[in-house]
Amino acid sequence: MKHILITGGAGFIGSHLADELLAQGYRVRVLDNLAAQVHGFGAKRPEYLNSEVELIVGDVCDSDIVRQALKGIDAVYHLAAIVGVGQSMYEIAQYTSVNNMGTAVLLEALIEKQVERLIVASSMSIYGEGLYRTADGNLAVGIERSLGQLKARDWEVRNQAGEVLKPIPTPESKLPALPSIYALSKYDQERMCLMIGKAYGIDTVGLRFFNVFGTRQALSNPYTGVLAIFASRFLNNKPPLINEDGYQQRDFVSVYDVAKACRLALEVKEAAGHVFNIGSGRQYTIRGIAEQMATVLGKEHIQAEITEKYRVGDIRHCFADITKARQILGYEPQITLAEGLVELASWLEGQVACDRTPEARAELAVRGLTV
């Protein structure tokens, strides 16, 4: 029976991954610091964390704790990270310390105590803008919106001739753009793991998660996924706040599909040395997502507020090309957005959310990080 360590495993994705692994006969250990921003102050073991999971409460930056957590371990999932595009643009030292240095500490420990496989959680944020085509069908990459354009509330991505470009699914081959400290730190995590894995003979896989949604998200964390933030607003009978015009497009993928993809990354021999997009392969507008959530929650009377503002570090369109994951991992998303939202709505009925969105937006505004 393989013994698996999940760093950051007491959180949203990690706890679902633990369930998936346990169901397949693995033993699971979790290393998690139960950060207040995610779990609340004075947090204890989450009730949703499977009772069969061995939990070590500690910091991934603590080399002694990491070495302790690695004892008897056959494979590692490295999910531990602080998440938040906007917050990363002013808590720079904190994001760099946890995401970059925490990965470095783990990798030094793995050099001493090697495992069969290392799977690192990367992010779609590393792409910056997704892939685009011009009107005549040519690919357009490396295109960014200027500050002047954004101040003029001209939201679409255009070429030098001013023509609006068409977004298309983004493959792993697109070069990173790294529009935020968070994106930079996730790319560092991915590259560090693949680099050290190759140097020391540790089979390593990178998984670039797109917008993951589902139960157990931290509803009181204003820097978590957009669906959880919207849910927090709806639960408090307040309208979701949507930047730009709401027609920006993203890929939303169920946490159950993500957990299965993670397991496949462990079990499929040919995955070693590769990075994979893990999404649904579909795209949705943020405005449309807010409307669907309002419907399933019975909050149709609460209409989203379109702020017509831009947050530094945000991009216009990015959704996943999952061809590579299908071909090598055998990954196939099973949970539709509609199905996932129904389950999410049922779970939300018993939840209490502290809406901290106004404070988070004020932090960005006072630093000039919104336009």
146, pLDDT greater than 80: yes
pLDDT of residue 7: 98
The predicted structure's pLDDT at residue 358 = 86
**pLDDT for the residue 270:** 98
Residue 371 resides in a domain: no
- Angle, helix 337-348 to helix 286-296, in steps of 10 degrees: 50
Query: In whole angstroms, what is the distance from residue 166 CA to residue 249 CA?
Result: 11
Active site residue 182: yes
Q: What pLDDT, on a 0 to 100 scale, did the predictor assign at position 222?
A: 84
pLDDT tens-digit readout, 7-25: 999 999 999 999 999 999 9
- DSSP structure string for 236-295: TT-PPEE-TTS--EE-EEEHHHHHHHHHHHHH-GGGTT-EEEES-S--EEHHHHHHHHHH
Q: Tell me, yes or no, whether 322 lies in a domain.
A: yes
pLDDT, position 279? 98
Could you give the CA distance from residue 255 to residue 282 in angstroms, rounded to a whole number?
Answer: 15
* pLDDT given at position 43: 82
Q: Are 304 and 242 in contact (CB under 8 A)?
A: yes
Picking from 6-15, 281-290, 330-339, 350-359, which range would have the lowest pLDDT averaged per residue?
350-359
CB 12 within 8 A of CB 255: yes
Q: Which helix (H) or strand (E) holds 4?
A: strand 3-7
Q: How confident is the model at residue 141 (pLDDT cuts 50, 70, 90)?
A: confident
List the one residue out of 189, 221, 180 whose CA is nearest residue 89.
Answer: 180
Within a domain: 356: yes
What integer best gives the mean pLDDT of the chain? 95
24-72 per-position pLDDT tens digit: 999 999 999 999 999 988 889 999 999 999 999 999 999 999 999 999 9
What pTM was estimated for this model as a whole? 0.96
What is the average pLDDT across 325-338? 97
Q: Would the pLDDT of 257 be above 90?
A: yes
| Number of structural domains found in the chain | 1
Give one DSSP letter per residue of 217-228, joined into a string: --TT-TTS-HHH
Quote the pLDDT of residue 1.
Answer: 84
State the Cα–Cα distance between residues 80 and 120, nearest whole angstrom. Answer: 9
Judge whether 344 lies within some domain: yes
What's the rounded mean pLDDT across residues 164-177? 96
Residue 349 has pLDDT above 90, yes or no: no
d(C-alpha 187, C-alpha 81), whole Å: 12
Catalytic residue among 132, 182, 223, 331: 182
Residues whose CB is less than 8 angstroms from the CB of residue 241 and which lie 6 or more positions away in sequence, other chains included: 233, 304, 305, 307, 357, 361
Task: Quote the pLDDT of residue 221.
Answer: 85
| Residue 98, in any domain of the structure | yes
pLDDT band at 187 (very low <50, low <70, confident <90, very high): very high
pLDDT band at 353 (very low <50, low <70, confident <90, very high): confident
The model's pLDDT over 210-232, given as tens digits with 9 standing for 90+, comes to: 999 999 998 888 888 899 899 99
Q: Quick one: CA torsion of 80, 69, 60, 204, rounded to 10 degrees? A: -50
Query: What average pLDDT score do residues 110-133 get?
Result: 97
Give the lowest-confidence range in 46-60, 68-82, 143-157, 253-267.
143-157
| The pLDDT of residue 183 | 97
Q: Using CA atoms, how far apart are residues 151 and 91, in angstroms rounded to an integer? A: 25
Contacts of 18 (CB under 8 A, 6+ apart): 6, 9, 28, 30, 49, 50, 53
Range of the domain at 318: 3-366
Report pLDDT for 224: 83
Asked if the structure places residue 69 within a domain, the reply is: yes
| Top-confidence range, 225-229, 286-290, 364-368 | 286-290
What CATH number does the domain containing 307 carry?
3.40.50.720
